[in-house]
Amino acid sequence: METSLFTVGTYLTTRLEQLGIDTIFTVPGDYTSDMLEIIDTRSNLNRIGNCNELNAAYAADGYARSRGVGAVCITTGVGAFSALNGIAGAYVEQIPVICIIGTLSNTKLQSEKNAGVLYHHQVNTTDFVKHAYEEVTVAFERIMNPNTAPAQIDAAIVACLTQSRPCAIEIMEDCYYMPCDAPVGNLVSAPSYTSYDNLLLLSQQTPPNIYASQILTAIQASANQACELIMKAKNPVIWIGKDCNVNMRNYLADAAVTYIQAPFVSSLLGKSALAENHPWYVGMYDGKFTSPRAQPYISNCDCLIGVGVWNTDLNTFGNPGFEIGNIAAIYAANDMVKIGEDMYMQVSLKHFIDALLAALQKNNYTPINQTPPQPPALPPIPPANTPMSYDAFFNTVDNYLTPQDLVVAEIGLSTFGGSSFLQINRMNGFLCQAIWASIGWSVPAALGASFTNQTRVMCIVGDGAFKLTCQEISTMVMHNKNIVIFVLNNNTYAVEQMLLNASPYKHGSTTPFEAANILQPWDYPSLMNAFSNRNAGGNAYSANVNTVQDLMNVFQQINQNQNACFLVNINIGERDYPAAWAWKVGN
Ligand SMILES: Cc1ncc(C[n+]2csc(CCOP(=O)(O)OP(=O)(O)O)c2C)c(N)n1
């Protein structure tokens, strides 16, 4: 037999290692066990066993948000369907996750098809996992022939990197240990646009390539129109969005702010695309949840320059139809530029920013602002005996966050005007699943993100969301992770109540909560005993917080135990809400 140094399993693990992936989130299954065995032979790969596949997918998502690309390895059917929600979130939010799914062997499939034997975890003999995953992956490859595995694996991974969205690689269990060709070169994402120089060459040839000319015209015209508006503006504001975090495009946001020298705000999805101690940063712009500091800049703004902002309902909260008012507005995102009624297609953010800055330079642009605004003061820590409330919690946390801290924020009442107003002094230091908004994402995502050097993850999660996926704390303890989880305990699904009927939140209200929004109280700190088997390794702590003093004590403990995992129960009155929600309550 011809021998090869590589098998399908080692080919795939080599590709993952080349991408800088050192951790894979997994749940075993008999169709996948050989793959996990292969992972365990790789000294550069760390296999994390999660409590369930949904958590594994969320963890790979959190890892990818922080590290660039992540991987999860699960079994077919039961595992793949459990993970589907996590993969869907990654798809919607443009997070590159490689999803490896082990499935039955060729022999079993044939006996299923020909002899009518149904194997466990199978829905039927069709490609049922592929059908389920088709909407939430940019590539789905089923590997049934080891000889085609290299090309299939490479195609899936390149699609994942290029489109910054998940791919699935389904491997039949008889293939893992089969030989295949060795990997050639490294896999990189293909640029989503043709280079400017090539467009120019193509447009200058005879006859000119009309498509290249069309794109060049769109780039130039959008840049000129934007330049004209910016030159005229007295109070321009730059609005940084999610496109700047995708595929590491943060440098484009930086280039725009540095050259234009205007105050910038961030969208919820783009929060921390630039570190928020940047001198030109003035806060969050998110419809009704615009931060108080950003508000006057937005009110006076006569030219809004949107750099990579996606318009979603949670990004423009409470502004139906997204009315920004009668001002010049430039939106560059999703390979398009929109200025007023004009749309320019196939204009990548990079081409637009490059051309815009060149146009400004050509027109001798002088920034209207010569110096950045006064740096903000952090909110004062409330008096020590102040009972816990949303605002007391966030104002205190704001004073303790360091550039080492990476905040993973869950969706809920606390996100808007709570986590979203925290000052994050670290690029990409704030993760939130703010479009897909699947509650339960944050705790496993915090685990995933914690595999980042020089990082302490602070996870801020409502009690309702916590209940979905909190078992992953046991994985954190098992792997000695230094993660802090703050459970905002108000015994309710508060945001659901707020959106349904805000009257229980009115001053002095005795209006009962909707029964569906009331939670069974849990003894949260005790959970740490269970998840850590009574603190077996001495690295698991929990605490109850009722006052600001209690919270400051916890931070002291956290700082003294840099390598421990903390579960902190923050007791908040059920009728409390972040002050930023007052417009909704009508108080
Ligand atoms: C998987 C999933 N199920 C249900 C919802 C609907 N949902 C959105 S927020 C929320 C309540 C969150 O409650 P909690 O975590 O306690 O936070 P709070 O609103 O009290 O701050 C629910 C049920 C969702 N977004 N995702």
Q: What is the pLDDT of residues 410-433, one digit of tens each?
A: 999 999 999 999 999 999 999 999
489 lines ligand 1 (CB under 6 A): no
Query: What is the C-alpha separation between 301 and 295, in angstroms, rounded?
Result: 10
Contact 8, 143 (CB under 8 A): yes
412 lines ligand 1 (CB under 6 A): yes
Burial class (CB in 10 A: 0-12, 13-18, 19+), 332: buried
Q: Which of 496, 519, 522, 524 maximizes ligand 1 atoms within 8 Å of its Cβ, making it the mutation to test the pocket?
A: 496
Query: What is the C-alpha separation between 293 and 316, in angstroms, rounded?
Result: 17
Q: Residue 249 — pLDDT band, cuts 50, 70, 90?
A: confident
Residue 479 has pLDDT above 50, yes or no: yes
So what's the pLDDT on residue 2? Answer: 47
Residue 34 belongs to what H/E stretch?
A: helix 33-41
469 lines ligand 1 (CB under 6 A): no
Strand order in the sheet with 405-409: 430-432, 405-409, 456-462, 483-489, 565-571, 540-545
Query: What is the C-alpha separation between 557 and 560, in angstroms, rounded?
Result: 5
Query: What is the C-alpha separation between 7 and 203, in angstroms, rounded?
Result: 46
Query: What is the C-alpha separation between 475 and 451, in angstroms, rounded?
Result: 13
Nearest-atom index, ligand 1, CA of 437: 25
SS (H, E, C) 413-455: CCCCCCHHHCCCCCCCCEEECCCCCCCCCHHHHHHHHCCCCCC
Query: What is the C-alpha separation between 567 and 540, in angstroms, rounded?
Result: 8
Nearest-atom index, ligand 1, CA of 414: 21
Percent of the chain with pLDDT over 70: 98
Contact 157, 86 (CB under 8 A): no
Contact 22, 45 (CB under 8 A): yes
Cα(455) to centroid(ligand 1), Å: 27
437 lines ligand 1 (CB under 6 A): yes
Angle between the N-to-C axes of helices 8-18 and 33-41, in degrees from 0 to 180, rounded to the nearest 10: 50
Residue 536 has pLDDT above 80, yes or no: no
Measuring CA to CA, how many Å separate 125 from each of 103, 140, 173, 206, 339? 12, 17, 16, 54, 51
Residue 321 has pLDDT above 60, yes or no: no
Q: What global pTM score does this model have?
A: 0.96
Query: What is the C-alpha separation between 229 and 363, in angstroms, rounded?
Result: 12
Digit-coded pLDDT (tens) for 284-311 = 999 999 999 999 999 999 999 999 998 8
Cα(452) to centroid(ligand 1), Å: 27
Can you say whether residue 408 is alpha, beta or left, with left for phi > 0 and alpha for psi between -120 and 50 degrees? Answer: beta
Nearest-atom index, ligand 1, CA of 462: 15
465 lines ligand 1 (CB under 6 A): yes
Q: Which of 391, 485, 493 maximizes ligand 1 atoms within 8 Å of its Cβ, making it the mutation to test the pocket?
A: 493
547 beta partners: 387
So what's the pLDDT on residue 370? Answer: 82
Cα(106) to centroid(ligand 1), Å: 42
So what's the pLDDT on residue 1? Answer: 45
Cα(538) to centroid(ligand 1), Å: 32
Residue 70 has pLDDT above 50, yes or no: yes
Cβ atoms within 10 Å of 340's Cβ, excluding its own: 10
345 beta partners: 336
Give me the sign of the Cα torsion angle 517, 523, 527, 530.
negative
Instruction: Tell me the CA end-to-end span of the chain in Å, nearest whole number.
Output: 79
So what's the pLDDT on residue 326? Answer: 65
Measuring CA to CA, how many Å separate 528 from each of 343, 457, 471? 54, 17, 10
414 lines ligand 1 (CB under 6 A): yes
DSSP letter string, 396-408 = HHHHH--TTEEEE
Query: What is the C-alpha separation between 267 and 242, in angstroms, rounded?
Result: 8
Q: Which residue has the tokens 């490689």?
A: 98
159 lines ligand 1 (CB under 6 A): no
574 lines ligand 1 (CB under 6 A): no
Cα(134) to centroid(ligand 1), Å: 27
So what's the pLDDT on residue 317? Answer: 78
Q: Residue 282 — pLDDT band, cuts 50, 70, 90?
A: very high
Query: What is the C-alpha separation between 479 and 282, in angstroms, rounded?
Result: 38
Residue 558 has pLDDT above 70, yes or no: yes
Q: What is the mean pLDDT of residues 261-278?
A: 95
Query: What is the C-alpha separation between 244 and 424, in angstroms, rounded?
Result: 16
Stretch among 97-101, 247-251, 387-391, 553-557 having the lowest mean pLDDT: 247-251
Nearest-atom index, ligand 1, CA of 411: 9
Q: What is the mean pLDDT of residues 174-179?
A: 98
Q: Which position has the higher pLDDT, 534 or 37?
A: 37
Cα(443) to centroid(ligand 1), Å: 14
Nearest-atom index, ligand 1, CA of 465: 15
Q: What are the helix (H) ranges across 342-421?
A: 349-362, 390-400
Cα(59) to centroid(ligand 1), Å: 19
Q: Which position has the higher pLDDT, 521 or 243?
A: 521
Cα(465) to centroid(ligand 1), Å: 6
Residues whose CB is less than 8 angstroms from the CB of residue 30 and which lie 6 or more positions away in sequence, other chains included: 75, 173
Task: Name the token pair of 147.
Answer: 């000889």
Query: What is the C-alpha separation between 477 and 526, in angstroms, rounded?
Result: 14
Q: Which of 428, 247, 429 is nearest to 349 (CA)?
A: 247
Cα(367) to centroid(ligand 1), Å: 44
What average pLDDT does the chain have?
95
Closest Cα to atom 11, ligand 1: which residue? 493
The helix/strand/coil state of 568 is strand
Cα(403) to centroid(ligand 1), Å: 29
Q: What is the mean pLDDT of residues 144-148?
A: 98
Measuring CA to CA, how many Å separate 301 from each of 92, 237, 282, 319, 375? 31, 6, 13, 17, 19
Q: Which of 319, 165, 314, 184 is nearest to 246 (CA)?
A: 165
Residues whose CB is less than 8 angstroms from the CB of residue 480 and which lie 6 or more positions away in sequence, other chains included: 537, 539, 563, 565
Q: Residue 537 — pLDDT band, cuts 50, 70, 90?
A: confident
